[in-house]
Amino acid sequence: MVEKQLNEGSNALPHTAIDAEVCKGCRRCIAACPQQVLRLRPTMNHCGIQPAEYIGRDCTGCGICFYNCPEPYAIRVESPDRPTRNS
């Protein structure tokens, strides 16, 4: 089973969703986040990499983390203003 680290908060607020199995732990999203709401997860993924994770609050939905991530499909920024493809 592929483990995904997703925001468990309300969908009424913007939030970042990071796929822990796709993230390579480069920390570019963490360094770029103006709100400082991302950090390295204390546990490793199945590849032995410490992926980034969203702390669960204060995301503004700016998307800077998404644009700084070199790994396709690792980060999604979900916002009530911007419907996702699954909606």
Q: How far apart are CA 44 and CA 60, in angstroms?
A: 27
Q: What number does CATH give the domain 15-78?
A: 3.30.70.20
pLDDT at residue 83, as a whole number: 56
Which residues, in sequence order, are CB contacts of 28 under 8 Å at separation 6+?
A: 68, 69, 70
Q: Can you tell me the distance from the alpha carbon of 17 to that of 46, in angstroms, rounded to the nearest whole number?
A: 18
Domain extents for the chain?
15-78
Q: Report residue 80's pLDDT band, with 50, 70 and 90 as the boundaries.
A: confident
Q: pLDDT digits over 23-72, tens only?
A: 999 999 999 999 999 999 999 999 999 999 999 999 999 999 999 999 99
